[in-house]
Every structure is written in C-alpha cells, then in structure tokens.
Structure 1
C-alpha cells in the first residue's frame, strides 16, 4: 500500500501526499463526529521558497509553520479529493503568513485571528524520513549510511504534565518502506477504544483512496493550471481527457489574433507555414531521432488550441507523437514539380486546431544520396526566431552535440504577460492612435485587379552588394537601424499612395522581455504586431525624421506586449482595423541557422519557405548579407502590376532617403526615371493635341464649378479655406 501511495496514487488527481492523507483523516473524523466539515491545524516545515534573496536550505533553526484548514471531505470519493486538494492549494505561501499575522501583525489582525474557531486536531506529515539516510549510500534505508535512526525508543519528547495544544495530534512518516501513522491524545479526556476505532477508519479510508487513485489519471483541478483561471466546472467540461492534459494556459496577444483570423477564414492558408529543404548525404534515422528529441524537449510543439467564447486556451498533449512520414521516391526519379506538388498537398490538408500537434514532417528519399524534407507547421506555435532555434537544435543533436537544459518554458512567458500592468501601455497607445485621422488602407488607393486572382503571390526586390552597403553605411552614420530605414520608406510610400497626413502600418516586434530569464533560448510565438504611426512632414530633413522614428521605436519597447485588438479598441476602430499592411524584419532567417549549425558530411539547400498572413500586403525584409524585400500580396485585391510598382517605388524611396540626410522629405521622388518619362510623354501628347476637349481641361472644370457654386470650399490647408469663387 505504501508503494502505491507514494508512486501510483498521485497520478489519479495530481495530488501530493498531504492531499490524500488529509482527505482520509477528514472522512474518518467526520464520520466519527457526525460532521460534514472539520477544521484541522497543519504543521509545515516553513522553509518556503518565497524570497529570491534568501536560501534556508542549510540554515538551522525552528521554521515550523502552523495554520488551520477547513476540510470538506465527505461525499463521492473523487469529489472529496478535489475539494480537499483545492482547499490546501488556496492557502497562500503554505500557511507561512498565518503565524506572522497572529503573533506579529497589527492589533486588528491579531484580534481577527484570535476570534477564529480553534482546531481540535493537528496534523503533521514528515515525508519519506528514510530518504535522509540513503543520500549517497544505496537504496535500502540506512544501508551503509553513517547515521541511521536507532531501533530503541527515544523516550518521551514532551513532559507528561505539559498542557496539550490539541485534542488529537496525528503524525505520519515513511520509514523503511512503510507509511506509519500515530495518534497522540489524553486518556483522561478520550476513550482509547473510541480513538482506535476512528484511527482504524482512517487507515481504511486511506487504503480505499489509494486503490481508487492508483487506477490511473482520473481528474484535474483548478490549481493544476493556475494560469488558465478556470473553475472546476469549466475544467470538467473541457473536451480533453485528463490523462492527456499536461498543461493549460491562455494565449499570447499574437496567438489570440492569429487564432481569430484562422477561424474567421476557415479553410484558408493564412498562418500555415512551410519550410522545404534538400539534403545531400542525410542519415534519415539520425535526423528523425533528432526531431524526436526536440519534439519531447519543447512543450509548445505538442500544443493544441481550444476555442472557448471570450477565453481561448492552449493545452499541452502529454501523449502527442511526432507526426513523421517517410517516402521512398527513388524509382520515380522525381522532379522539382513532383516535390512541389507534395508540399502543396501537405499545405492543403490544414490542421484541426484543437488537436495537437499542429505540425507535420515528411521526408522523401529522392535519390541514392538525396532527400527532400517538408515541414508544415502552424504559425500559432512558432515565430521566425524560434523556427531557427529549433533547426539549430535538431542539427546539433544530429551531429552528436548535447543540448543544454532549458531555462524555462513558453508558459513562463504567458505568466509574465499576466503579471504586467496595462495602465501605462493604454495611456501610451491612446496618445499614439489619437494622431490618426482614420485607418490607412493601401488597397483602397490601388486600382482593383481586372481579374481577381486567388491566394497570395510574391514580388521580390533584391539590392546588390553595392546598394546594400550604401544603405547599411547610411544607417550607421545616422545612428538608426536598418529596420527604421525600411519603415521610413514604407511610411512615405503609404503617405504618397493614400494622401493621408498620418499613416499607420503594422510592424512585428520580437516580444521577448529582457527580464524573463533565458528568454532568447525559449521556443514559441513571442512576436507581436503593433501599429507604427507616422506623420512625415514635407519640409522635415531626412536625418531628423529617421532619428525621430528610431526614438519612437525605442519608446514602444516598454509597451510591445499590448494586444493589437486592445489598441484598435482604444482607437475606436471597428471593422478591418487600423492598417492593411505590415513590415516584418527577419532577424535570424532559417538558412542562416542551417549554415551555422550544419554537421560535417552533409549539405542542405533551402528550396522554399511559405509564410502567409491575412493582410493584403506583407513586406518581409531580410538582410543576409544583401538586403532583400519580399512583397507578399493577396492576389484578390492587389494585382501583379500594382505589386511590382510598389516594389519599384519602395526601392526608389530607399535610395532617395540615403542620398542626403539634410534633404527635405517632400523632395524625395516616388517615381523612377522611366515612370517620370512616361508622365512627361503623356503630358506632351495632351499639349499637342489639336482636338483636345477644352472643356475637359482642369482649369475649365474649376471655372465651371465656380460659376455653379462660388461659395463652396475648393481648397483647404490647415486653418485656411478658399472657395471656388476665390480660387
């Protein structure tokens, strides 16, 4: 029974020894006394790890804590265990504060505690006492140990005449492989046979509890998942078996937004990422073993998502298996089109978001020395930095290197988020969004495609080494980052396209808080998308505005964990949101991770990388080592010609920004030389047309409007307005 109590029973309801012992004790005493509840004082060791700067592990003294707990142990056995367990978990700091307030609190606190009912029973479980004597001397209790408990009685520890603090004192410990429980009481006050009766009942109840719990996982309670914030009824209603539920907690802000968009566009490919690699001389068995190790190492890879109204949760599947498939295509002599078709088929399968894992791995042997690898994963699990981290870990494990212990888990980040105050961030973002006159919609400024396409396409603009060097050198001289430089060009492009004074676009930030220990080594979705709001003034110098934008980006770091949906709510923005474009700066691309961690004797090439958002335009920026801009656009609203023009204009603005830091922003050209020549040609043709319709010329239209509506506003600038008649 003792072995089952220690090793098997805790799995039933994720209990500790005290949970079961107190449930059994409470049931026995309630039955004996005819009560439904009982108050018990519990002794604890008092060495609680609640002060970061205090280590009591080697300090000698009396630290014992004593605190009361009301037990409600009656009724169905499973429900009784859950109630007692939760009652114990609700005690803050394992009762350490009770004695502090009772003896060292202020007058009101001391009086309040003195007025509470007094427990008649005190309970103390010392734990596995024989463990102290097998520290380094074998498995048997005391085998070869320098110190072991004596077999002889030690005599009375308390004078017989000392007053009893409680009617009954119940003590327990495990020694020599046996759980031993004793009850101390006054024979002058209690009949020994009566006490022996309820003590036997205590033993029977405990044995029944152990048999019940040792059958396997039976249930969970709210204290098992403190971040989730669910009560017992909500936990019991979850569509996940307790045996599979390793952890449960809320989503990060970015995860919440992605989950909403994924469910909104059910069947679409948004946020379903895919990486395709070609290997030479790969050992398939070692490669799979490396992925198996990483899959077990990181909880986030075994995550599913439960959509609950207003409160989605992510859960870790204890039993999730690596979704791995291998195929041998050597006889087919596959082409690039064949492997691309397989990748598309994997992409089209999608994911059931509630079921972990949200990833699939396909390894295809394409030749005697070649393999094609397809990794499809939902963006809900990983950001770009984490993807590169994982690839590095896989390759290091493949190469025989050991992986360091993880400094934490993704749940630590969720806990950090819950501890953050929102007031300062709300004030910051309210100030920012107040600068906007309305949403910035690039799609509304573009000509609609003649024939709307489907899916997403990509326009790529690569700067050569010379141009990249020029851009990087300029950024260094002006003490700004390349990210700021690209954002500046995009803000100017949006301003020119939209005609708005203040423009907004999304920017992806890393989201990894510096105060969270080891955060750079953690894997998960840490990024967040936040609005960048810009009001570039035509007369402002390039250098001055770049530094202003850089300072704005630095300021936002203190508030980068704010959910985008909250910012949009504070802005009063309903519908599509504040912007329809985002800029993503890729700090650690996958190919760099592969190059830096590649074991000897093997080569790899990145064949394809599919990343899709729900925004009509995503500008992906990669600096490795040349600067590359990728314009991923939704073909249903942005045509190929428009996307190509945006890429040209972005390049033109970047070149203009770095030409002279003292240059006024208003003098930067959006159009390249060819486009300006085209405009001039169109103007020359119009001027030379003998059959030109004089009535259609602009100044004739203004004259006609002035005759019809002379008092109507024609031009407005700051506080000045001109009517048509004045114009």
Structure 2
C-alpha cells in the first residue's frame, strides 16, 4: 500500500496485490477485509491487481513502475456519499481543509487527521457557506452525517451568528487574561514581542493590488488597529478608527546574488520586527521583496503578538488570498462576514468571570496542588540570565511517512488527540532524564473555547491563547497502552481545555483564589502544539510558506519564563518539534539527548499502537456511558468496530431485563409481514444495508454481564443478510399457513442481545413477481413512531439504488444518542417529588378480576390477541366528540379502560400502565429520530361521584399533560417511590395508543409497493390494550392465554365499545350514572334472566296458590 499523488494536492492510498493463479480475487472482499481491520481513512481508495510486482535491479519494489489506478472504477463500499445539500457542502469543506479527495458522511473527523485548530477552520468555512457550526459541535459530532443533522442555515446563505458586529468596531476594549499575563511579565522591550510569517509570492506580482489587499485586512479585522496606553503602570487598550495608511514597503533585491538577497532580507526583517509600537502604532508591517522576474518574491508580515495568534494567522492568510484576487481583478473586496469581535469577546469574558458556570471550575483549579521538581541544570544561573539573547533551539523532525502514521494510525487506534501522544512522549522523556514520574508543564491552547452562548470566534483575529499549569503523572514500569490511557484521561479532566484558569486568575472577583493561583509554583516547562500548517495556505493560493527566516520575533532582552519551551507543528507533511533552551543554563548535548529520547518515545508509541490488539478506549471516549477503565478493558477493548457506547433508556432497561428472564416466550419481538411486488432482490438487500448504515440504533447491541448497569454499543458496520424462502412449489392456499408457522418459530427464536443486528429479514417467494416480506426485530430498538420512518428510508434507498437517482428526499439523521444525552440532563429529584405525590395513598395494584382464578404462575407463557374495529360512523362520532370537548381520543380510551378496571375490581381508585411517546419537544429533530423513545408509566384514575363525566375526562387529560413533563422517569424508580409493597407490580395491564403502518395499499414514490401489512408483537404484561386510530378505531387486547379465557376477552372488548359510546352520550351526567354493560347483557338481565312470567289459576285466592 502506497500513497500516490496523481493530481497535485490529491493524495490517496492505493493497494497493489499479486494475483494467485488458482484464485479469482474480488476487490470488494479485499475492501471489506481492510474495513474490518482498519479505520475508514486507511482503506485504500483503489485496488490494483498485478500478475507480479515490478522490481528494481536490487530486487526491491519499483514504486515508480507501479501503474496508475483507475479511480473511476473503484468500489464505494467503504464510502457513504452525501445525500443532502448540507452534507455535500460539509463534505466539500472537509475535503478542502483536510486535503483528502473523498470523504464519506460517516468518516470520523479525528481519524482523518483533524484537530482543534482545523475544526476552527472548518467552522469558519461552514459559516461562510451559510452553515451554522461550532468547534464544540465537531468534537461532539465527529462525522458529517451527525453534523448535518445538527446544523441550521439562514435563507440568504449568511451564517446565523450572534454577538457579531459587521460594521467598523472602535473604542475601548477590556484586557483579556492572556494580555494581562503579558503586561504582568514587565518585558523590558514591550514593543518587540511579535509573530511573523514570510511568504512566497508567485511572480508576476501586482504590488498595488497587494497593498490594497493588506489595507482591507486592516479595515476588516479591527484588532489590527489596537493601541495601548499605560497610566501609572495600568495598561488599557482601544481600537482606532480608519485613516492611518498601511505600513507596506517594497524592497527590490533583484540586482544581487541569491546568497546576498537572503542575508539582506533577514537584515531588513530584523529591522521591521523591532519597529512596531503598541502605543503609537503600527501593530502590523508588511514588506514585499522583489527577487527577480524568474523567482518567487517574498512577503514579510509582522504583527505584534498582543493582537494575533496562530489561528488568527490562518484567517489572515485566507483573507489575504481572497482580497488579493479581488483587487487583482479590480473588484470590490468582499471578505467573509465578521464573527464575534475581540471587543465583544473581552466584555463577555469579564461577565463570564462572575458566572455560575465558572464557579463550578473553582474547585478543580484550587485543588491542583502540585510541587514543581526543579529540572537538572548544567550550571547555576540567575533568572535575569534567561533571556532571548541566550536562547538556542534544537529541532527534530519525523519523516512524512512517520507523521502520516502518527496522525492517521496512532491517533485513531487509541482514540487519541495529538496532545495526548505528544505529552505522553514528553512525560516519558523527562522521566528518563530526571527519574520523576510526575511532570508539571504550562500548556498553551488556542483559547477559543465555547464557553459563551452565541459567541463565534472562527473568523476573528486577536490573541486568544489560553495558558494553564497541569500536572501529568505516569508509571515508569507500565507499558505504553497504560501510559497513553492515563495521560489521555488526565487531559480530559481539564474543564473547557483550561480556558477558565486564566479567567479565574486575572478576571475573577475572588481575590483569595486569585492569590492562591498566583502563589502556585511556576512550571519550568511550557508546551504548545501549533497545529498543521500545510492547511494554512490553500493549494491554489498565490502565497506559500517560505523556508527562510522572518527575523527575530522577540527582542534580545525579552525575559523567558521557562527553562524549556517545546513547540511542535506539522508543516511540509512532517512533524517538527523544537526545543528552546538557554545556553547559560543547559548544554546543547543535554537538551539534544532529551530531545532524542522524546523522538524515540514518539516512535515507540507508534510502534506499540500498530501492533496492539486492543483499542485504547477510555471512559472519556463514552461520556454517555457509566464505564470505568477496568470494565472497558475487560469487555470492549478488543472490538475495533465500536462507534459509540451509552446507557439505555428506561424502557430499554425494562425490556432487556424481561427478555433475558423470559428468553423463550418471544416477548417484545415485533414482526411486520407485508406483501411486496416487482422488486429487484439485489436492490432490496442493498437498500436495507444503506438503511442500517444510516441509523445508529439499527447497528446497536447490548452488554450487561459483569456491569453495574447495562449499556448499548453502536458498531460502525453491521452486515444485512436477507433470508430467501421459495414457496412457489407450495399450494397457494397453504402458503399463508407455512408463513404463519415460520413466524411462530421466528418469534420464539428471540435475539442474541450482544450480536447485532437485532433484526431479521425474510422474503417468501409466493409467485414469480410477488413476495411476502417478514421484518422481525426486537422492540428494544424501535417504537411505533420509528417503524414507518425506517420503512420510508428503506423505500427511498431502494428507489435510488434501483433507478440510479440521488436520495434527495432523505432528511439528515439525528442519532439516537442525542436523546440519551438529553435524558442525562433531566432532574431526577423533581420527577421523584411529582411521582411520590401522584401515587400517594395507593397501596396495592389493581387486580385483573376478569382473569381465571389461581392462574398467575402458568408457565410457559403464551399470548393471544383479539381485535374489534369500531365502525367508521362510531369512530367519526368519537372524534367529533373529542374535538368538541377539546379532548384527545387517547383520553377517551384511557377513561373507558379505567372504568372497565374499576367495574371488574370494584375499586374507585385504579392504576394501569400507559405508553408515552417520550419524545421531548425541545429536542431538535426529535420527530425524525429513530429509536425506542416510548416509556411505560402509571396512570392513576380516581372516581369522584360529584364530578360529571365531562369534568372527570378533563381531569384525566390534565393528568396526562402533567405526566408529559416527567415521562422520561424510569418505571423502576416510580415503582420504588410508590407505596405499593416491594415485590408487587404497580400495575398488570397497560394501554398502548399508537399509529402503526397499517395501510392495505401503501404505494410510495419509491416505486416499491407494500400491501397487506400486518404487525405482530407481544409484551410481558398479562393484559395489553392497543388502540390504533384510523378511519376505524381498532381495539386489540393481547392477553396471556393461561390467565384469561378468550370469551372473557371478547366480552371486555364489547364492553370497551359500550363504555366509549356511553362516555360520549352521557357527558353531562354524573359519573355515577355511567354503565358499561352491553346491549346484549342488558337484554339478558332484563329479559332472559328475568323470565319469571307464568300462568296462575285465575279463580284461586292468594293463600290457595
């Protein structure tokens, strides 16, 4: 496998394999093999089969002779293409920023080499495209599919950014924590503390257009016009208006030799570096060096560090390219819309310093008690000797291949971020130097964290850097797997990536904490990863990054805070690690040895992760789970296909428990049987595969053994297999019996919960163009709301595959994990207070008096069902009554069922279960989510004889509305909060009011027709009433056969019809007048059972009879 670049900037993995004569090679199988063992980004883009590998005279593979692959014919089995407009836009942005030719919607951002700085670039590009995104959303939703489901756009293509001023920003600006840190350092040469870039510029250059472009940068990015004032040692800043010309200079060096050119260039660069002035200006200088018509020129940009940082440079260079192109074409310069200004951000930071959110961080930073072990030194020194003038540097570099392995193999293999690896290597290198297992370092970050609602810094220029001390501990004798996990988890514990430390130390009103933080011992080492600079300048850009020196960024007398500063970055496809040290304190060979140990540690990590059998999952990888490291290592560490792990919903937990307890009965197995005609079998199965790929819940399995609580696991890939059974040889009148017999056995098979998919697909061929399709799945995956959504997605996929058209109609999918995250945020204490009050005084479950006596322990359980459908006229009457009374049809059915239970039990206080949708309205996109959202909760109904039926029904509906606020509560908790004795069920019957796909002729735009749809399911409750609304309201009773006679069930359904009629006919009557006996029963009571008429002797008196 090699990396090819057949088009400039488009690098792709290509696999070459040698055929074996006796074997036919299927490249699709090869691709599946790769996909099963390596992440998606490591699956080759193309496979080339050769009779033999070309060799050099030395017997090595001649890479230059390997043929160019036919990319057009490559399979896309590992690649899921974008479906929607937003997915396509995001895919284009990712491809551009990450410089990868083809990115599928399920590819992971970090596995593709992304990092926090690149996430900011993606957010900036997305905002420009009218897609509202934040870096935090990328960290939490790491695929295009998940992001597309999350984002929103505005009608005019502009991003919906809050706290953004599009006009000129001027006036006073509060100092931020990093700026306060700078001024507190009392640098002797405060004006000379810069950052700079030296760029190549392709000739010919229009210098007037270049000057205009730089002027536009100064206009658009307000922080570049900042000025500073010192009043008695107290510094302040303000933004100037326009008017000052840009400090742009032209230097012609074309008349001297190349060696002289670059010597002179560095000399002038040093002069410009020393010429900035933070009080009077300028804060930016630009110099263009003309080196001759045949050579690329150089553009020097120098900006004081007070108003720029690493992310800002990426923004400036991108805008410089755009502005130069527009100026070159005599166009009006239009730069991307402004995001939150530096001024607004500073104001918000000062407000945030007083917020409850920051209050929660105080304990973390106050408890960072550590001791700084002094680094070994080669000679004694005074702090004043540690200046820039005596600073030296050593830079070591990984090869391009090693860097690719680090970013694209090591990081994904342990779900690491780049700082995890770089700091683990540093901890090990320092351990080898000092023997210490703890290191304390000052970490630097980009500081653009999402701590303020509505703020967007993705295209804002300024100094946002965060700096904070952190102690990292390792165990010297442990293997690299243990060390990586330990460092990773220690870094994940830092709240908001450390940005709160500076706010607490420099902006907080808590003076005691300020003093405590400032009194902490200062680390002697700083560490900063600057990101990937290959993405800073676009491939098509006029500008490139020059290799020559841009001059001295810092004045010679600048004071260094640390003995060692380690700065790393990726440029030219290579990781460069620079060690800055002071020659008055350390010898070169001392630091060189530590630096060598560092690179050796990096290579050891890469070697270890490549050969490790386990995946380095840690608890922070699964924030919605409750798993410690020991459980992760024991149960899931070897599974390379895990996408996510999270807890179960309340009903999922209940279903899992009952299904494991009753493994033979088929409880909660749902079966859909339908007729399909004129289908392509290949497209049929491919469409189901795409549907499973699209919905995470369909790739879910469950683990529970050895854990405190069960968890669900989503796998990246689950294979769909459709079983095909040919019944054409069976007599037509016997085919249905064969199918029903198969369904009985299929239901009894249940599912292995730890083996996805928890679904089965069976096609019965009944004639040449007609099939009966059985879709079986466990209810733990899907609720009634979700089932039609899945079928609609399948139909759309089938249509796209069969016709070759794009799936334009599919909405972006919101993953089920969003609902789990919402559940975790709910207040359980509030729910407990509600349920305790709701069930207060209810001491025993409502008996099902219509059942057989002494039948509770019948095993094994068998279920049957009976259904009655109310006529269209009766159903229309019920619906009209409900509308008039402002009631729901569900309320009427619940009222009728409560009356039935009361009538049989003789109780005026009954409780039964009901299913609630569980879909919170405040969760965006919840109406299109697929999963098990429903919950089963108790409904308590009391009968007040003073109420009319109408009043009673309205009270019942209000109870339902109240329950909706707490419908997320686990039933097991509600049971525990009730006064029903432990071990006794809270209710034995449930009412389900739902919409199932039940059309007898469902023809969709997909071209595939579904008809004769039947749904079969059973619960673990003795009695379940299912109400299915439609033109004819269907009432189905699913009953435990051992506990109820069929005749009684039929009678109860008749009584339900009668009660529903009585509720609407007698709404204004007292509740006590209501009767639920049927017309037939009334006739028996009044006529048949009262048939006492007889003939008497008419001539006899009474005593003679």
Residues 291-346 of structure 1: CA distance to partner in whole angstroms, max 9, x if unpaired?
11110111111111112454111111234222432333334456111122222222
Structure 1 residue 174 corresponds to structure 2 residue 563: no
Matches within 5 A, 1:311-322: 311-322=709-720
- The whole-number CA distance in structure 2 between the counterparts of 1:592 and 1:131 is 54
Structure 1 residue 220 corresponds to structure 2 residue 617: yes
Which residue in the other structure is 2:704 paired with? 307
Residues 637-691 of structure 1: CA distance to partner in whole angstroms, max 9, x if unpaired?
111011011101111100111113212222222211221222335653689899x
Matches within 5 A, 1:94-493: 94-105=497-508, 106-134=510-538, 137=539, 144-215=540-611, 218-238=615-635, 241-308=638-705, 309-332=707-730, 335-400=735-800, 401-402=807-808, 404=810, 406=812, 408-443=814-849, 455-493=862-900
Gap change, CA 1:115 and 1:639, over 3 Å in 2: farther
Deviation of 1:354 after TM superposition, in Å, equals: 1.9
Deviation of 1:403 after TM superposition, in Å, equals: 5.1
Q: Indicate if the aligned counterparts of 2:851 and 2:1043 stay in contact, CA closer than 8 A.
A: no
C-alpha root-mean-square deviation of aligned residues, in Å?
Answer: 2.3
Q: Indicate if the aligned counterparts of 2:850 and 2:1044 stay in contact, CA closer than 8 A.
A: no
- The whole-number CA distance in structure 2 between the counterparts of 1:71 and 1:536 is 65
- The whole-number CA distance in structure 2 between the counterparts of 1:591 and 1:682 is 41
Q: Indicate if the aligned counterparts of 2:1000 and 2:1011 stay in contact, CA closer than 8 A.
A: no
Q: Indicate if the aligned counterparts of 2:845 and 2:987 stay in contact, CA closer than 8 A.
A: yes
Which residue in the other structure is 2:1018 paired with? 612
Which residue in the other structure is 1:37 paired with? 438
TM-score (norm 1): 0.90
Which residue in the other structure is 1:621 paired with? 1027
Unaligned runs of 5+ in 2: 1-401, 801-806, 1097-1105
Q: Indicate if the aligned counterparts of 1:397 and 1:403 stay in contact, CA closer than 8 A.
A: no
Which residue in the other structure is 2:1070 paired with? 664
- The whole-number CA distance in structure 1 between the counterparts of 2:561 and 2:1087 is 103
Structure 1 residue 584 corresponds to structure 2 residue 987: no
- The whole-number CA distance in structure 1 between the counterparts of 2:988 and 2:869 is 24
- The whole-number CA distance in structure 1 between the counterparts of 2:786 and 2:920 is 15
Residues 194-240 of structure 1: CA distance to partner in whole angstroms, max 9, x if unpaired?
00111011111101111222346532111111111222112112156
SS in 1 for 2:467: strand
- Alignment counterpart, residue 64 of structure 1, candidates 450, 455, 465: 465
SS in 1 for 2:887: coil
SS in 2 for 1:237: helix
SS in 2 for 1:474: helix
Residues 98-135 of structure 1: CA distance to partner in whole angstroms, max 9, x if unpaired?
1111112211211221233321111111111111213x
Gap change, CA 1:58 and 1:333, over 3 Å in 2: farther
Which residue in the other structure is 2:973 paired with? 566
Q: Indicate if the aligned counterparts of 2:692 and 2:718 stay in contact, CA closer than 8 A.
A: no
- The whole-number CA distance in structure 2 between the counterparts of 1:240 and 1:470 is 59
- The whole-number CA distance in structure 2 between the counterparts of 1:346 and 1:689 is 64
Deviation of 1:595 after TM superposition, in Å, equals: 3.0
Q: Indicate if the aligned counterparts of 1:491 and 1:534 stay in contact, CA closer than 8 A.
A: yes
Q: Indicate if the aligned counterparts of 1:269 and 1:612 stay in contact, CA closer than 8 A.
A: yes
Residues 17-39 of structure 1: CA distance to partner in whole angstroms, max 9, x if unpaired?
11111111111111111211111
Residues 349-382 of structure 1: CA distance to partner in whole angstroms, max 9, x if unpaired?
2111122221111123221111111111111111
Deviation of 1:593 after TM superposition, in Å, equals: 11
Deviation of 1:418 after TM superposition, in Å, equals: 1.0
Which residue in the other structure is 1:27 paired with? 428
Residues 68-100 of structure 1: CA distance to partner in whole angstroms, max 9, x if unpaired?
222224331110111111111111101110111
Deviation of 1:596 after TM superposition, in Å, equals: 7.0
TM-score (norm 2): 0.60
- The whole-number CA distance in structure 1 between the counterparts of 2:912 and 2:1043 is 17
Which residue in the other structure is 1:695 paired with? none
SS in 1 for 2:1002: helix
Greater mean alpha carbon deviation, residues 191-200 or residues 331-340: 331-340
- The whole-number CA distance in structure 2 between the counterparts of 1:354 and 1:318 is 15
Matches within 5 A, 1:495-514: 495-514=902-921
- The whole-number CA distance in structure 1 between the counterparts of 2:847 and 2:616 is 50
Structure with the larger RCO, 1 or 2 (CA within 8 Å, 6+ apart): 1
Deviation of 1:285 after TM superposition, in Å, equals: 1.7
Deviation of 1:154 after TM superposition, in Å, equals: 0.9
- The whole-number CA distance in structure 2 between the counterparts of 1:292 and 1:182 is 49
Deviation of 1:399 after TM superposition, in Å, equals: 2.1
- The whole-number CA distance in structure 1 between the counterparts of 2:637 and 2:424 is 26
SS in 2 for 1:60: coil
Q: Indicate if the aligned counterparts of 2:674 and 2:1012 stay in contact, CA closer than 8 A.
A: yes
Greater mean alpha carbon deviation, residues 657-666 or residues 485-494: 657-666
Residues 270-299 of structure 1: CA distance to partner in whole angstroms, max 9, x if unpaired?
111111111111222222121111101111
Greater mean alpha carbon deviation, residues 469-478 or residues 10-19: 10-19
- The whole-number CA distance in structure 2 between the counterparts of 1:664 and 1:303 is 52
Gap change, CA 1:451 and 1:59, over 3 Å in 2: closer
Unaligned runs of 5+ in 1: 138-143, 691-727
Deviation of 1:174 after TM superposition, in Å, equals: 0.8
SS in 2 for 1:476: helix
Structure 1 residue 494 corresponds to structure 2 residue 901: yes
- The whole-number CA distance in structure 1 between the counterparts of 2:449 and 2:1000 is 42
Gap change, CA 1:234 and 1:116, over 3 Å in 2: farther
Deviation of 1:188 after TM superposition, in Å, equals: 0.7
Gap change, CA 1:52 and 1:591, over 3 Å in 2: farther
- The whole-number CA distance in structure 2 between the counterparts of 1:395 and 1:487 is 35
Deviation of 1:13 after TM superposition, in Å, equals: 0.9
Q: Indicate if the aligned counterparts of 2:664 and 2:749 stay in contact, CA closer than 8 A.
A: no
Q: Indicate if the aligned counterparts of 1:538 and 1:667 stay in contact, CA closer than 8 A.
A: no
SS in 1 for 2:1090: helix
- The whole-number CA distance in structure 2 between the counterparts of 1:231 and 1:357 is 26
Residues 682-705 of structure 1: CA distance to partner in whole angstroms, max 9, x if unpaired?
653689899xxxxxxxxxxxxxxx
SS in 2 for 1:620: strand
Greater mean alpha carbon deviation, residues 217-226 or residues 270-279: 217-226
- The whole-number CA distance in structure 1 between the counterparts of 2:501 and 2:920 is 35
- The whole-number CA distance in structure 2 between the counterparts of 1:89 and 1:451 is 52
Deviation of 1:443 after TM superposition, in Å, equals: 4.7
Deviation of 1:468 after TM superposition, in Å, equals: 0.8
SS in 2 for 1:151: coil
Greater mean alpha carbon deviation, residues 329-338 or residues 490-499: 329-338
Gap change, CA 1:8 and 1:403, over 3 Å in 2: farther
